[in-house]
Amino acid sequence: MKKVFLIVLCFLMAFSMVACNNAKETAGNNQATQKQETNEAETRIVLDASGNEVEIAKDVKKVVNLWNSANEIIVQLGARDIMVGGSSFLQSRPWMTHIFPGAKDVEVISDGQTANVEKILEIDPDVIISVAGRADALKEIGEPVVELTGGKSADELMEQMSIVAKALGSEYEENAEAFFTYFNKNLDLVEKVAATVPQEEKIVVLHGTTSTTTIDDSVVGSLLKTANVTNAFAGSEAPEISYEQIIAADPDVIIVAQGNHAEYEKFMTDPLYKDVSAVKNNRVHINPAGMFYWDAFSGEMSLEILWMAKTSYPDYFKDVDLEEETKYFYKTFLDYEMTDEEVQYLYEGKGPNGEWQDSGKKSK
Protein backbone atom coordinates (compact mmCIF):
# COMPACT_ATOMS: atom_id res chain seq x y z
CA MET A 1 0.00 0.00 0.00
CA LYS A 2 2.82 2.37 0.86
CA LYS A 3 4.40 1.59 -2.46
CA VAL A 4 1.23 2.50 -4.32
CA PHE A 5 0.91 5.70 -2.29
CA LEU A 6 4.50 6.74 -3.10
CA ILE A 7 3.92 6.12 -6.83
CA VAL A 8 0.77 8.27 -6.80
CA LEU A 9 2.55 11.01 -4.83
CA CYS A 10 5.45 11.10 -7.31
CA PHE A 11 3.02 11.28 -10.21
CA LEU A 12 1.17 14.20 -8.62
CA MET A 13 4.43 16.06 -7.93
CA ALA A 14 5.61 15.56 -11.52
CA PHE A 15 2.26 16.73 -12.87
CA SER A 16 2.40 19.84 -10.68
CA MET A 17 5.90 20.72 -11.91
CA VAL A 18 4.87 20.34 -15.56
CA ALA A 19 1.75 22.41 -14.98
CA CYS A 20 3.78 25.09 -13.21
CA ASN A 21 6.33 25.23 -16.03
CA ASN A 22 3.57 25.43 -18.61
CA ALA A 23 1.95 28.24 -16.67
CA LYS A 24 5.26 30.12 -16.54
CA GLU A 25 5.83 29.55 -20.26
CA THR A 26 2.30 30.74 -21.07
CA ALA A 27 2.75 33.82 -18.91
CA GLY A 28 6.08 34.54 -20.58
CA ASN A 29 4.55 34.17 -24.02
CA ASN A 30 1.68 36.43 -23.03
CA GLN A 31 4.12 39.06 -21.78
CA ALA A 32 6.17 38.87 -24.99
CA THR A 33 3.01 39.15 -27.10
CA GLN A 34 1.77 42.05 -25.01
CA LYS A 35 5.16 43.80 -25.35
CA GLN A 36 5.15 43.26 -29.12
CA GLU A 37 1.59 44.60 -29.38
CA THR A 38 2.60 47.62 -27.28
CA ASN A 39 5.61 48.30 -29.54
CA GLU A 40 3.42 47.97 -32.62
CA ALA A 41 0.92 50.39 -31.13
CA GLU A 42 3.67 52.93 -30.41
CA THR A 43 5.41 52.69 -33.79
CA ARG A 44 4.54 52.56 -37.49
CA ILE A 45 6.31 51.64 -40.71
CA VAL A 46 7.12 54.26 -43.38
CA LEU A 47 8.48 53.35 -46.79
CA ASP A 48 11.22 55.83 -47.75
CA ALA A 49 12.40 56.90 -51.21
CA SER A 50 15.09 54.21 -51.26
CA GLY A 51 12.49 51.51 -50.63
CA ASN A 52 13.48 50.94 -47.00
CA GLU A 53 10.81 50.11 -44.42
CA VAL A 54 11.59 52.42 -41.50
CA GLU A 55 10.07 51.90 -38.05
CA ILE A 56 9.14 55.30 -36.61
CA ALA A 57 7.47 56.41 -33.40
CA LYS A 58 3.74 56.88 -33.88
CA ASP A 59 3.94 60.28 -32.22
CA VAL A 60 7.01 62.11 -33.56
CA LYS A 61 8.23 64.73 -31.10
CA LYS A 62 11.79 65.26 -32.35
CA VAL A 63 13.00 65.36 -35.95
CA VAL A 64 16.46 66.13 -37.30
CA ASN A 65 17.37 66.82 -40.92
CA LEU A 66 20.71 66.27 -42.67
CA TRP A 67 19.87 67.57 -46.17
CA ASN A 68 19.87 71.27 -47.09
CA SER A 69 16.85 70.94 -49.37
CA ALA A 70 14.69 69.42 -46.65
CA ASN A 71 15.03 72.25 -44.09
CA GLU A 72 12.47 74.39 -45.92
CA ILE A 73 10.25 71.38 -46.62
CA ILE A 74 10.04 70.42 -42.92
CA VAL A 75 9.29 73.99 -41.86
CA GLN A 76 6.73 74.38 -44.64
CA LEU A 77 4.94 71.21 -43.57
CA GLY A 78 4.41 72.84 -40.17
CA ALA A 79 6.99 70.88 -38.18
CA ARG A 80 9.22 73.76 -37.10
CA ASP A 81 8.32 73.23 -33.43
CA ILE A 82 9.59 69.64 -33.41
CA MET A 83 12.72 70.31 -35.48
CA VAL A 84 15.62 69.87 -33.07
CA GLY A 85 18.47 69.42 -35.56
CA GLY A 86 19.12 70.64 -39.09
CA SER A 87 21.74 71.22 -41.76
CA SER A 88 23.88 74.35 -41.96
CA PHE A 89 21.53 76.11 -44.41
CA LEU A 90 19.01 76.33 -41.60
CA GLN A 91 21.04 79.18 -40.09
CA SER A 92 22.99 80.51 -43.08
CA ARG A 93 20.00 81.42 -45.29
CA PRO A 94 18.86 85.00 -44.42
CA TRP A 95 15.22 84.38 -45.36
CA MET A 96 15.13 81.17 -43.33
CA THR A 97 16.12 82.85 -40.07
CA HIS A 98 13.92 85.86 -40.89
CA ILE A 99 10.75 83.82 -41.50
CA PHE A 100 11.64 81.17 -38.91
CA PRO A 101 13.58 82.96 -36.13
CA GLY A 102 13.65 79.74 -34.11
CA ALA A 103 16.08 78.31 -36.67
CA LYS A 104 18.85 80.09 -34.76
CA ASP A 105 18.19 77.83 -31.78
CA VAL A 106 18.07 74.55 -33.69
CA GLU A 107 21.19 72.42 -33.36
CA VAL A 108 23.23 72.29 -36.58
CA ILE A 109 24.13 68.61 -36.96
CA SER A 110 25.15 68.49 -40.63
CA ASP A 111 26.95 70.61 -43.21
CA GLY A 112 24.64 69.17 -45.83
CA GLN A 113 27.14 66.43 -46.66
CA THR A 114 28.42 64.93 -43.41
CA ALA A 115 26.43 64.27 -40.23
CA ASN A 116 27.58 64.68 -36.64
CA VAL A 117 26.65 61.18 -35.48
CA GLU A 118 27.63 61.75 -31.85
CA LYS A 119 25.45 64.86 -31.57
CA ILE A 120 22.50 63.12 -33.25
CA LEU A 121 22.68 60.19 -30.82
CA GLU A 122 22.78 62.68 -27.96
CA ILE A 123 19.62 64.39 -29.27
CA ASP A 124 17.94 60.96 -29.72
CA PRO A 125 15.44 61.99 -32.44
CA ASP A 126 12.28 60.08 -33.34
CA VAL A 127 13.08 60.40 -37.03
CA ILE A 128 16.09 61.46 -39.13
CA ILE A 129 15.58 62.90 -42.62
CA SER A 130 18.53 62.44 -44.98
CA VAL A 131 19.38 62.24 -48.63
CA ALA A 132 20.39 58.70 -49.56
CA GLY A 133 23.95 57.72 -48.72
CA ARG A 134 24.68 60.37 -46.10
CA ALA A 135 23.42 58.59 -43.00
CA ASP A 136 24.62 55.04 -43.53
CA ALA A 137 26.44 54.98 -40.18
CA LEU A 138 23.20 55.88 -38.42
CA LYS A 139 21.23 53.26 -40.35
CA GLU A 140 23.75 50.58 -39.39
CA ILE A 141 23.11 51.12 -35.68
CA GLY A 142 19.34 51.05 -36.11
CA GLU A 143 18.50 54.75 -36.06
CA PRO A 144 15.18 55.70 -37.78
CA VAL A 145 16.61 57.20 -40.98
CA VAL A 146 14.15 58.16 -43.71
CA GLU A 147 16.04 58.51 -46.98
CA LEU A 148 15.12 60.89 -49.80
CA THR A 149 16.59 60.67 -53.28
CA GLY A 150 15.94 64.11 -54.77
CA GLY A 151 14.35 64.22 -58.19
CA LYS A 152 14.15 65.81 -61.63
CA SER A 153 10.57 67.07 -61.78
CA ALA A 154 7.84 68.78 -59.81
CA ASP A 155 6.04 65.45 -59.44
CA GLU A 156 9.13 63.89 -57.88
CA LEU A 157 9.45 66.83 -55.50
CA MET A 158 5.89 66.24 -54.31
CA GLU A 159 6.55 62.52 -53.94
CA GLN A 160 9.54 63.25 -51.68
CA MET A 161 7.56 65.79 -49.65
CA SER A 162 4.83 63.20 -49.20
CA ILE A 163 7.36 60.77 -47.71
CA VAL A 164 8.57 63.42 -45.25
CA ALA A 165 4.97 64.21 -44.29
CA LYS A 166 4.18 60.52 -43.70
CA ALA A 167 7.26 60.22 -41.51
CA LEU A 168 6.17 63.20 -39.42
CA GLY A 169 2.52 62.21 -38.99
CA SER A 170 -1.04 62.60 -40.29
CA GLU A 171 -1.44 66.33 -39.57
CA TYR A 172 1.60 67.03 -41.73
CA GLU A 173 0.19 64.87 -44.53
CA GLU A 174 -2.85 67.19 -44.60
CA ASN A 175 -0.55 70.21 -44.94
CA ALA A 176 1.30 68.47 -47.77
CA GLU A 177 -1.91 67.73 -49.65
CA ALA A 178 -2.98 71.38 -49.43
CA PHE A 179 0.36 72.42 -50.89
CA PHE A 180 0.19 69.84 -53.69
CA THR A 181 -3.19 71.25 -54.73
CA TYR A 182 -1.67 74.72 -54.92
CA PHE A 183 1.47 73.63 -56.79
CA ASN A 184 -0.49 71.59 -59.34
CA LYS A 185 -2.79 74.56 -59.94
CA ASN A 186 0.22 76.72 -60.81
CA LEU A 187 1.73 74.05 -63.05
CA ASP A 188 -1.55 73.56 -64.90
CA LEU A 189 -2.01 77.31 -65.38
CA VAL A 190 1.49 77.81 -66.79
CA GLU A 191 1.26 74.81 -69.07
CA LYS A 192 -2.12 75.94 -70.43
CA VAL A 193 -1.12 79.57 -71.08
CA ALA A 194 2.39 78.77 -72.34
CA ALA A 195 0.91 76.37 -74.90
CA THR A 196 -0.72 79.37 -76.63
CA VAL A 197 2.66 80.97 -77.42
CA PRO A 198 3.22 80.67 -81.21
CA GLN A 199 6.35 78.85 -82.32
CA GLU A 200 7.80 82.04 -83.85
CA GLU A 201 7.51 83.81 -80.46
CA LYS A 202 9.10 81.03 -78.44
CA ILE A 203 12.19 82.36 -76.67
CA VAL A 204 15.59 80.90 -75.84
CA VAL A 205 16.50 80.94 -72.13
CA LEU A 206 19.82 80.37 -70.42
CA HIS A 207 19.32 79.34 -66.81
CA GLY A 208 22.67 79.16 -65.06
CA THR A 209 25.81 81.26 -64.69
CA THR A 210 28.70 82.40 -66.89
CA SER A 211 30.18 78.90 -66.60
CA THR A 212 27.28 76.52 -65.94
CA THR A 213 23.87 75.77 -67.39
CA THR A 214 20.76 73.82 -66.44
CA ILE A 215 20.49 70.58 -68.38
CA ASP A 216 17.16 69.24 -69.62
CA ASP A 217 17.23 66.25 -67.29
CA SER A 218 16.85 68.26 -64.08
CA VAL A 219 14.15 69.76 -61.93
CA VAL A 220 14.62 73.25 -63.44
CA GLY A 221 14.92 71.72 -66.89
CA SER A 222 11.43 70.27 -66.39
CA LEU A 223 10.10 73.72 -65.42
CA LEU A 224 11.61 75.27 -68.55
CA LYS A 225 9.66 72.71 -70.58
CA THR A 226 6.45 73.51 -68.72
CA ALA A 227 6.97 77.21 -69.43
CA ASN A 228 7.40 76.36 -73.15
CA VAL A 229 10.78 78.01 -73.56
CA THR A 230 13.80 76.61 -75.38
CA ASN A 231 16.68 75.72 -73.11
CA ALA A 232 19.72 77.50 -74.59
CA PHE A 233 21.71 74.31 -74.08
CA ALA A 234 19.02 71.73 -74.78
CA GLY A 235 20.49 68.28 -75.22
CA SER A 236 23.61 69.06 -73.23
CA GLU A 237 24.60 66.30 -70.81
CA ALA A 238 27.20 68.38 -68.92
CA PRO A 239 26.46 71.60 -67.03
CA GLU A 240 29.81 73.26 -67.85
CA ILE A 241 29.75 75.94 -70.58
CA SER A 242 32.11 78.60 -71.95
CA TYR A 243 31.54 82.23 -72.87
CA GLU A 244 31.98 81.28 -76.54
CA GLN A 245 29.07 78.86 -76.23
CA ILE A 246 26.91 81.50 -74.54
CA ILE A 247 27.62 83.98 -77.33
CA ALA A 248 26.82 81.33 -79.94
CA ALA A 249 23.56 80.38 -78.19
CA ASP A 250 22.58 84.08 -77.95
CA PRO A 251 19.78 83.60 -75.39
CA ASP A 252 16.81 85.99 -75.36
CA VAL A 253 16.61 85.76 -71.57
CA ILE A 254 19.24 84.88 -68.98
CA ILE A 255 18.12 83.68 -65.55
CA VAL A 256 21.06 83.68 -63.15
CA ALA A 257 20.73 80.60 -60.98
CA GLN A 258 20.23 80.54 -57.22
CA GLY A 259 20.20 84.27 -56.59
CA ASN A 260 23.83 84.69 -57.56
CA HIS A 261 24.39 88.46 -57.69
CA ALA A 262 28.10 88.19 -58.51
CA GLU A 263 27.29 86.20 -61.67
CA TYR A 264 24.59 88.69 -62.61
CA GLU A 265 27.19 91.47 -62.43
CA LYS A 266 29.52 89.50 -64.70
CA PHE A 267 26.86 89.21 -67.37
CA MET A 268 25.98 92.89 -67.14
CA THR A 269 29.48 94.40 -66.96
CA ASP A 270 31.89 92.02 -68.71
CA PRO A 271 32.45 93.20 -72.31
CA LEU A 272 32.49 89.55 -73.41
CA TYR A 273 28.68 89.42 -73.11
CA LYS A 274 27.73 92.90 -74.36
CA ASP A 275 26.36 91.61 -77.69
CA VAL A 276 24.26 88.80 -76.22
CA SER A 277 20.57 89.56 -76.87
CA ALA A 278 19.54 89.14 -73.23
CA VAL A 279 22.20 91.64 -72.13
CA LYS A 280 21.48 94.16 -74.89
CA ASN A 281 17.73 94.06 -74.17
CA ASN A 282 18.12 94.16 -70.38
CA ARG A 283 16.56 90.74 -69.93
CA VAL A 284 19.07 89.30 -67.47
CA HIS A 285 17.36 88.35 -64.21
CA ILE A 286 18.52 87.02 -60.87
CA ASN A 287 16.53 83.95 -59.89
CA PRO A 288 14.76 84.59 -56.57
CA ALA A 289 16.08 82.76 -53.54
CA GLY A 290 14.10 82.59 -50.31
CA MET A 291 14.28 80.14 -47.42
CA PHE A 292 15.96 77.92 -49.98
CA TYR A 293 16.61 78.52 -53.67
CA TRP A 294 13.41 78.91 -55.69
CA ASP A 295 15.12 77.09 -58.55
CA ALA A 296 15.99 74.04 -56.48
CA PHE A 297 14.30 71.15 -54.71
CA SER A 298 11.96 73.00 -52.35
CA GLY A 299 8.36 74.11 -51.85
CA GLU A 300 9.24 77.54 -53.21
CA MET A 301 9.41 75.90 -56.64
CA SER A 302 5.64 76.43 -56.71
CA LEU A 303 6.42 80.16 -57.07
CA GLU A 304 9.40 79.57 -59.36
CA ILE A 305 7.20 78.23 -62.16
CA LEU A 306 5.00 81.35 -62.06
CA TRP A 307 7.98 83.70 -61.87
CA MET A 308 9.83 81.89 -64.68
CA ALA A 309 6.78 81.93 -66.97
CA LYS A 310 6.00 85.60 -66.38
CA THR A 311 9.66 86.58 -66.73
CA SER A 312 9.86 84.72 -70.04
CA TYR A 313 6.47 85.75 -71.47
CA PRO A 314 5.24 88.87 -69.62
CA ASP A 315 2.50 89.62 -72.17
CA TYR A 316 1.02 86.14 -72.01
CA PHE A 317 1.09 86.02 -68.22
CA LYS A 318 -0.04 89.59 -67.56
CA ASP A 319 -3.06 88.33 -65.61
CA VAL A 320 -0.86 86.51 -63.09
CA ASP A 321 -0.46 88.72 -60.03
CA LEU A 322 2.93 87.44 -58.95
CA GLU A 323 3.14 89.71 -55.91
CA GLU A 324 -0.16 88.43 -54.54
CA GLU A 325 0.79 84.82 -55.28
CA THR A 326 4.05 85.31 -53.40
CA LYS A 327 2.30 86.77 -50.38
CA TYR A 328 -0.29 83.99 -50.49
CA PHE A 329 2.34 81.26 -50.52
CA TYR A 330 4.36 82.58 -47.59
CA LYS A 331 1.26 83.34 -45.52
CA THR A 332 -0.56 80.08 -46.26
CA PHE A 333 2.31 77.62 -46.08
CA LEU A 334 4.87 79.39 -43.90
CA ASP A 335 2.65 81.59 -41.75
CA TYR A 336 4.54 84.75 -42.68
CA GLU A 337 3.13 88.10 -43.82
CA MET A 338 5.39 89.28 -46.65
CA THR A 339 5.54 93.08 -47.13
CA ASP A 340 5.59 94.76 -50.54
CA GLU A 341 9.22 95.73 -50.00
CA GLU A 342 10.21 92.19 -49.03
CA VAL A 343 8.52 90.79 -52.14
CA GLN A 344 10.62 93.09 -54.31
CA TYR A 345 13.77 92.09 -52.44
CA LEU A 346 12.96 88.44 -53.23
CA TYR A 347 12.57 89.16 -56.94
CA GLU A 348 15.91 90.98 -56.95
CA GLY A 349 17.70 88.08 -55.31
CA LYS A 350 18.18 90.00 -52.07
CA GLY A 351 17.76 89.10 -48.44
CA PRO A 352 15.03 90.46 -46.12
CA ASN A 353 17.08 93.57 -45.32
CA GLY A 354 17.99 94.34 -48.91
CA GLU A 355 21.40 92.63 -48.71
CA TRP A 356 22.92 90.56 -51.49
CA GLN A 357 22.61 87.00 -50.27
CA ASP A 358 25.83 85.80 -51.89
CA SER A 359 27.91 88.47 -50.16
CA GLY A 360 25.94 89.60 -47.11
CA LYS A 361 26.56 93.23 -48.10
CA LYS A 362 23.79 95.79 -48.25
CA SER A 363 22.80 96.48 -51.84
CA LYS A 364 23.04 99.98 -53.25
CB 253 within 8 A of CB 227: no
Q: Which residues contact 226 (CB under 8 A, 6 or more apart)?
A: 154, 187, 190, 191, 194, 305, 309
Per residue in 79-97, is it b (16+ CB within 10 Å) or e — as a string? bbebbbbbbebbeebbbbb
For residue 318, which phi and psi values (nearest 5 degrees)? -65, -25
Single-letter residue type at 167 = A
Residue 238 is predicted with a pLDDT of 86
Residue 20 is predicted with a pLDDT of 44
Residue 3 is predicted with a pLDDT of 47
State the DSSP code for 144.
-
45-168 and 197-347, same CATH topology: yes
CB 174 within 8 A of CB 167: no
Burial of 185 by CB count in 10 Å (0-12 exposed, 13-18 middle, 19+ buried)? exposed
Residue 40 is predicted with a pLDDT of 53
Residues facing 356 on adjacent strands = 350
Residue 41 is predicted with a pLDDT of 67
Calculate the dihedral angle through the C-alpha atoms of 109, 111, 112, 117, rounding to the nearest 10 degrees.
-40
User: Could you read off the pLDDT tens digit of each residue along the chain, which spans 364 residues?
Assistant: 444 444 433 443 444 444 444 444 544 454 444 434 434 569 999 999 999 999 999 999 999 999 999 999 999 999 999 999 999 999 999 999 999 999 999 999 999 889 999 999 999 999 999 999 999 999 999 999 999 999 999 999 999 999 999 999 999 999 999 999 999 999 999 999 999 999 999 999 999 999 999 999 999 999 999 999 999 999 988 899 999 999 999 999 999 999 999 999 999 999 999 999 999 999 999 999 999 999 999 999 999 999 999 999 999 999 999 999 999 999 999 999 999 999 999 999 999 999 998 744 444 4
Single-letter residue type at 247 = I
Q: Compute the distance between CA of residue 265 and CA of residue 287 in angstroms, rounded to an integer.
A: 13
Instruction: Report the residue count for the chain.
Output: 364
Q: Compute the distance between CA of residue 284 and CA of residue 84 in angstroms, rounded to an integer.
A: 40
Residue 237 is predicted with a pLDDT of 85
Q: How far is CA 36 from the centre of its chain?
A: 34
State the DSSP code for 270.
-
**Whole-structure pTM value:** 0.87
Q: Where are the domains of the chain?
A: 45-168, 197-347
Strands lying side by side in the sheet with 284-286: 230-231, 204-208, 253-256, 284-286
Q: Compute the distance between CA of residue 82 and CA of residue 78 in angstroms, rounded to an integer.
A: 9
Residue 42 is predicted with a pLDDT of 92
Q: Does domain 197-347 have CATH number 3.40.50.1980?
A: yes
Q: How far is CA 2 from CA 9, 16, 363, in A?
A: 10, 21, 110
Q: Compute the distance between CA of residue 263 and CA of residue 192 in angstroms, rounded to an integer.
A: 32
Q: Give the DSSP letter string of 58-70.
A: SS---EEE--HHH
- What CATH number is given for 45-168 in this structure? 3.40.50.1980
